[in-house]
A and B are shown apart, each in its own frame.
Chain A
Amino acid sequence: MAESVIKTEKLTKRFGDFIAANELTFDVKAGEIFGFLGANGAGKTTAMRMLCGLSIPSSGKATVAGFDVYKHTDEIKRNIGYMSQKFSLYEDLTVAENIRFYAGIYGLSNKEIKDKSEELVHQLGLEGETKKLVRELPLGWKQKLSFSVAIVHQPKIVFMDEPTSGVDPVTRRQFWDLIYAAADKGMTIFVTTHYMDESEYCNRISIMVDGVIRALDTPYNLKKQFSANSMDEVFYGLAREAKRTGD
């Protein structure tokens, strides 16, 4: 398979006595859709924040797009896109203004911004809505727009933290179409979720329980390994052992 774009070795984050992420070791290949599963409070977000340069690891090693997470956070930030759990576009700006702002701060030229905006608006079917405040869009559209804005600078890797929570099944399906389209262009997708049907869309999945990675493989192999019929069963089998309760 292709080269690794994310590589971690015993990556750990402690908050006082609490170990949020304990010795995570995994790698993600270029162009892969990598699912990160776990119950609330399992440590998914913490792990992702360390990889995005938002949080400094307590110990262990990790590189993202070839850059060290301790030393080269600025280079990492230039090469990744990030879509957080909270909705993160400016609700009091219009669709076009949001795209322009994020494209601008990633250093796209005026021409690139213009082309990219048109392409993006067309892809999302938002023609005629560009002058609308983001606040007025339905949640599903907001999430799709949010994703498109997160990859406006065509990053090598895009991190998504529960991007589809609270979104209806039809929109979720459309959302995954966008993810596939991005992956087809060679983007690596790193996504956390707790929808089990979504995990089936991933190339590989890791399941975190209480800050530790308990399983990591393709959905097919995982089902085989745990002799389960569905990812649901695999997940419940592991999550039942969790001692921590939700966040």
Chain B
Amino acid sequence: MRTLLFLLQKEFLQIFRDKNLLRQILMAPIIQLMILPWAANYEVKNISLAIVDHDHSTYSQKLESKIFSSGYFKLADYCASFNDGYKLIEGDKADIVMEIPANFEKNLVRENKQKIFLAVNAINGVKALVGTGYLGNILNDYNGELRLQWVQPSKISPIPSIEITSMNWFNPGLNYKIFMVPGILVFLVTMLGSMMCALNIVREKEIGTIEQINVTPIKKHHFILGKLIPFWVIGIFVFTIGLTISRFVYGIIPVGSIGVLYVFLSIYMLAVLGLGLLISTYSDTQQQAMSLSFFFIMIFNLLSGLYTSVDSMPGWAQIITDLNPLRYFIEVMRMVVLKGSGFHDIQHQLIFVIIFAIVFNGWAILNYRKTT
């Protein structure tokens, strides 16, 4: 026990003396949480629309002004022909070309029927899909207004129609930041934890102090605990900064209990630090440790459900996400912060993270040798 205290004292002295590390611990979460949630944006705005208007009528102008007043579209240009519009798409100046045929107004009035052609640049699939969706809605709306003008409202509507009223639970305003911020915070804690832990141990290998430690009677588990505990504390500290930022900058107040989050976090940190430890046992230089950590963090990140829903991944990818600790914490964060889930609801995730903690640390301890 006394040995452990000396080890901890030494680690903390070194950490507090390392200005770079301190900056990383303090500034990384602040800067990243201030910037990333704004950039990791699902809302599609500023869709460039090129208009080919062959009609030049009051109706076509009304339609155009309705589109631009929605706020989602900006005008790329008015084109004389579809070919001109297509060139704008090729030059990446327009996302969508809307072609209004000649006699648009006349046909609409006389025959009650008209078609509009949309050509979409689908390089950015999401933007294309969402853009056409918006436009479709606006056109539908426009259609409805026209109908009101022309068709005499009767007591019994001749065409039965279903009107949809929907309600968004847990995130009524569909504010994507409420969804992203907790996830990004988990990602940050994971990255800082695993990388700092791995680099710290490998650094001792590089400068040779680990050999001096190995020749002392320090027990393996003392040494490992001496490394884990400081970074465990730092992880919890960083997480707390993150929660504070999300409270005061983004106004996110967890619906569920913060206690549940911290219990989960403290176990999750053990898993993450175990991974760092494991990486350190396989690396001899900080460079190797860095590339190994990066490899895992990239995969964990993209397969975590942070950006894309796990449910829409192919079956085999979903199986891989089962092996990703990050995924479980992101799920738990969103469940607790948005839905107010309690221990009962996060049992499944908790069990998996406990297994990760045991496997990573056990494997690392087996692999860490004082002798060769």
Contacts and interface: CB of A to CB of B under 8 A. Distances in A.
Interface string A72-99: 0110011010101111111111000100
A87 B209 CA distance: 8
Interface stretch (B11-19, B273-281, B303-311, B352-360): B11-19
Contacts of A186: none
A89 B18 contact: no
B10 A93 contact: yes
A53 interface: yes
Contact of B6 (A55, A74, A91, A101): A101
A101 B9 contact: yes
Nearest to B209: A88
Contacts of B3: 104-105, 107
A102 interface: yes
A77 B371 CA distance: 12
Nearest to B223: A105
Contact of A82 (B7, B207, B212, B372): B212
Given A97-B10, A101-B6, A101-B10, A77 B208 contact: no
A97 B6 CA distance: 10
Contacts of B217: 74, 77-78, 105-107
Nearest to A83: B212
Interface of A: 49, 52-56, 73-74, 77-78, 80, 82, 84-93, 97, 100-102, 104-107
Interface string B1-40: 0110111011001100110000000000000000000000
Contact of A88 (B2, B211, B372): B211
B215 A92 contact: no
Contacts of B370: 54
Nearest to B208: A86
Contact of A93 (B14, B213, B214, B371): B14
A105 B18 contact: no
B14 A82 contact: no
Nearest to B216: A105
